[in-house]
Structure 1
Amino acid sequence: MKIVVIGATGIIGKAVVQALSPRHSIIQVGRSGGEYQVDLASKNSIQNLFEAIAPFDAVVSAAGEARFNPLESLSDEDFQFSLSNKLMGQVNLVRVGLPYINDNGSFTLTSGVLTTEPMLGSAAISLVNAGLEGFMRAAALEAPRGIRVNVVSPPWVTETLATMGKDVSRGMPAARVAAAYLEAVESQRTGEVLDARLF
């Protein structure tokens, strides 16, 4: 399959590319790196990307930024940034991508463990993740031509914790997280949240 990986230069994205590459043709997309670039906060940028690389069989998003701050210090701008990037950016991958993806193709988006296991400072991220999962379930019902839509929910990733100077013992290596993306792309699942800890 011809698979577009958004966020291909990130920690999870690199692992997803490595997992998919042996059996598929991968187009690597990043914010500033990769073969192509995209700004998830810009619908026009997404449109231009898909026009340049279509048609394709699958889109995997391991991208999207959201702000992590205590509730009382989260500003309107923090919420808007989070909604525009991680939520609407990934929603628009599906909305804009539908005309460009092949029959029986798939979209795999990324939420995260903070949807169901929130922590101090995660209000904006938890909001975005929950919204994305709700969108996915509804979009999967309406997607035409056998197109599937799923979300992978990763836990804290070992490599991310290491870069933050945090305890890595509670993390999961990106290579293991990538197994859930492989399942989402290669199976017939649709309308599901795949908890990466289960793969």
Structure 2
Amino acid sequence: MKKILLVGASGTLGSAVAQHLRQQHQVITASRSDPLHSVDLGSDDSVSALLQAVGPLDAIVATTGSVHFGPLTEMSPAQFAQGLQDKLLGQVRLALLGQQHLRDGGSITLTTGILTEQPIAQGVSASSVNAAIEGFVRAAALELPRGLRINAVSPSVLSEALDAYGDFFPGFEPVSAARAALAYQRSIDGIANGQVFKVW
């Protein structure tokens, strides 16, 4: 049984990942709204405090991060920067600070999405941020010591989110959050390193 920290467990994807992983592992959940383990991924101090509180870990998972959706012709640098600061730097911050709290052979799993390779209208920020996270994963995998591993999971639009986001994804095949959750288990319990698990 592995001890896993899951940040973003309050969301649709995070909830499914937590439910799946708990079948075999100890899962500690954290999010902005978590009553026990509240964390702000925009703050070094907040992330460090969380990591100190939960103690040594076997795996760290991030299923969180927001980006701006809107027409490129109307997008401001500040709106574009929202995704850089929240989804990109938030997940990278968790990985950079979290590596010191992983036991030998531990893993980090970040979350991107199908827009890395299949852009949509009004999704420039999402495509850019996801691509940057995947670049970080591929490069970081080459430098992590002590047998540590890092991967990313890239799901398509979730079937549970079609009511909210379906109009942005015309013709895309949705996937269930439960199916996406399987890829996180592959990252944690498998041997892959520097990989992007596509759930499309």
Common fold: TM-score over 0.5: yes
What corresponds to 1:193 in structure 2? Answer: 196
Aligned 8 A contact 1:58 1:105 in 2: yes
Cα distance per residue 1:20-46 (max 9 Å; x no partner): 001100001112126311111222211
TM-score by length of 1: 0.94
Whole-Å separation in 2 of the counterparts to 1:116 and 1:157: 17
Query: Does residue 143 of structure 2 align to residue 139 of structure 1?
Result: no
Aligned 8 A contact 1:158 1:168 in 2: no
Instruction: Quote how far apart the aligned CAs of 1:168 are.
Output: 10
Unaligned stretches of 5+ residues in structure 1 = none
What corresponds to 1:157 in structure 2? Answer: 158
What corresponds to 1:183 in structure 2? Answer: 186
What corresponds to 1:61 in structure 2? Answer: 62
TM-score by length of 2: 0.94
Cα distance per residue 1:67-88 (max 9 Å; x no partner): 1111111111112211011101
Whole-Å separation in 2 of the counterparts to 1:81 and 1:61: 17
Equivalent residue runs for 1:110-121 within 5 Å: 110-121=111-122
Question: What secondary structure does 2:142 align onto?
Answer: helix
Whole-Å separation in 2 of the counterparts to 1:44 and 1:88: 14
Cα gap change, 1:164 to 1:195, in 2 (>3 Å): closer
Aligned 8 A contact 2:157 2:172 in 1: no
Aligned 8 A contact 1:43 1:89 in 2: no
Question: What secondary structure does 1:36 align onto?
Answer: coil
Instruction: Quote how far apart the aligned CAs of 1:15 are.
Output: 0.5
Instruction: Quote how far apart the aligned CAs of 1:94 are.
Output: 1.1
What corresponds to 1:89 in structure 2? Answer: 90
Cα gap change, 1:109 to 1:121, in 2 (>3 Å): same
Whole-Å separation in 1 of the counterparts to 2:164 and 2:131: 26
Taking only the aligned residue pairs, the percentage that are identical comes to 41
Unaligned stretches of 5+ residues in structure 2 = none
Deviates more, 1:183-192 or 1:25-34: 25-34
What corresponds to 2:30 in structure 1? Answer: 29
Question: What secondary structure does 1:142 align onto?
Answer: coil
Deviates more, 1:130-139 or 1:65-74: 65-74
Instruction: Quote how far apart the aligned CAs of 1:162 are.
Output: 2.5
Aligned 8 A contact 2:88 2:130 in 1: yes
Whole-Å separation in 1 of the counterparts to 2:35 and 2:188: 20
Cα distance per residue 1:126-149 (max 9 Å; x no partner): 110000000100100001110000
Cα distance per residue 1:153-180 (max 9 Å; x no partner): 0100001113446589831111111111
Runs of 4+ in structure 1 over 6 Å off: none
